[in-house]
Amino acid sequence: MTERTLSAASPEFIAVFREHAGADRTLSFARFMELALYHEKTGYYTRPRRRIGRDPGTDFFTSSSVGPVFGELVTAACADLLGAPAAAASVFVEIGTEPAGSGPSGVLAPSSPEMPPVAHPFAGTLNIPLGRPLAIPLQAIVFSNELFDAQPCHRLVHHAGRWRELGVALRSGALEEVQLPELSPEVRTAPVRLPPSAPEGYQLDLPLAASRLAGEIAGRPWSGLFVAFDYGISWRELAGETPAGSVRAYFRHRQSNALLAQPGEQDLTCHVCWDWIGEALSQHGFDPPVIESQEAFFVNHAAPALRRLTAAEAGRLSSRKLGVMQLLHPGNMGRKFQVLWARRNLP
């Protein structure tokens, strides 16, 4: 279970919690997570601060933190999956980019003021920060990097023979984890069958918002390529192999289970269910989705770019070569991240 109380919540967040919790001062964990990450005034992702990188004050690093080589390999893989003519006619759309003032905006953007943007063969680029409308061109490559694991999720625990939903309550000025009296409407109506039985205390995190977002993206009238880099597992693993759940907090490059600590100041993530993301795409006419490790994705679809980079950097251990090693090595990011991709052609 998570730490039960919170003493470090800011007065601003406590006021926001009170406003949304109502008379019983209780919210589902999903609603708490939504406020902690995306509230317009106190949300972690809405504040203009640098979150990603290895600099002091940042909280985590991701594949884009290794520099422009990540964007170069993404570009090469997308062009390979679409073919040159379709790639040249497609706009590269990145969803979930950092807002202005929070660091580099997008994998094809300059990694520093003195660096040029990543060269690409596409018709153009478009960045859509979190929370902005999904204005996707008719022919597009829709790309995201750790977008879906940052969506709010519901948390359940198996107790006394049945599934109970976990929520957050305000008690004596502090936030506390509680069991809700009944499942929220989103869980009751979710298109998923909860396991009929589970060990006492098994925690089941349901990333329903991530699946809804995938459906919203796929439901737009565009054709081309969908590519999502993220943490993810299957429904079988989620329902039977993660007894402690998958929601984690990240603050100053440290992972913890203190999910209620410092809301608005720390990141909260939840593994996506790749089965659900794939189903959302298939329901909107995408070809059968493919899931690969990050290592396999780049080796399978960006091999010529990898060979060129290796040849250019032969004889020295440059920062670019170190970046490739981090992206591909199974002990670093090669297996830590997975990639789901799928194509769709509309009339």
Cβ-in-10-Å burial (0-12, 13-18, 19+) of 205 comes to buried
CB contact at 8 A, 272 and 210? yes
User: Which phi-psi region, left, alpha or beta, contains residue 288 (left: φ > 0; alpha: ψ -120 to 50)?
Assistant: beta
CB 257 within 8 A of CB 177: no
Secondary structure string (H, E, C) spanning the chain: CCCCEECCCCHHHHHHHHHHHCCCCEEEHHHHHHHHHHCCCCCCCCCCCCCECCCCCCCECCHHHHCHHHHHHHHHHHHHHHCHHHHHCCEEEEEEECCCCCCCCCCCCCCCCCCCCCCCCCCEEEEEECCCCCCCCCEEEEEEECCHHHCCCEEEEEECCEEEEEEEEEECCEEEEEECCCCCHHHHCCCCCCCCCCCCCCEEEECHHHHHHHHHHHCCCCEEEEEEEECEECHHHHHHCCCECCCEEEECCEEECCCCCCCCCCEEECCEEHHHHHHHHHCCCCCCCEEEEHHHHHHHHCHHHHHHHHHHCCCCCCHHHHHHHHHHCCCCCCCCCEEEEEEECCC
Spell out the domains of the chain, with CATH numbers in brackets: 5-344 (3.40.50.12710)
Residue type present at position 86: A
Query: Is 333 in contact with 64 (CB distance < 8 Å)?
Result: no
**Residue 58: which residues within 8 A CB-CB, separation 6 or more?**
50, 51, 52, 252, 253
**Per-residue pLDDT, 53:** 60
pTM score? 0.90
Find the angle CA(7)-CA(255)-CA(10) to the nearest 5 degrees.
25
Residue 327's pLDDT is what?
Answer: 84
Return the structure tokens found at 332. Answer: 């670093």
Of 162, 151, 110, 167, the C-alpha closest to 268 is 151
Buried b / exposed e across 61-78, counting CB within 10 Å, b at 16+? bbbbbbbbbbbbbbbbbb
pLDDT at 314: 67
Q: Are 277 and 290 in contact (CB under 8 A)?
A: no
Length of the chain in residues, anyone? 347
pLDDT tens for the chain, 347 residues long, are: 444 444 468 999 999 999 999 889 999 999 999 999 999 999 888 877 666 666 666 655 555 666 789 999 999 999 999 999 999 999 999 999 876 555 557 899 876 677 888 999 999 999 998 778 899 999 999 999 999 999 999 999 999 999 999 999 999 889 999 999 999 999 999 988 999 999 999 999 999 999 999 999 999 999 999 999 999 999 999 999 999 999 999 887 688 899 999 998 899 999 999 999 999 999 999 999 999 999 999 999 999 999 888 787 766 667 777 778 888 877 777 578 999 999 999 64
Predicted pLDDT of residue 342: 98
Residue 104's pLDDT is what? 53
- Residue 310: phi and psi, rounded to 5, are -65, -40
296 burial type by CB count under 10 A (0-12 exposed, 13-18 middle, 19+ buried): middle
**pLDDT recorded at residue 5:** 41
Residues 103 and 53 sit within 8 Å (Cβ to Cβ): yes
* The pLDDT of residue 323: 78
> What is the rounded distance in angstroms from the CA atom of residue 97 to the CA atom of residue 93?
10
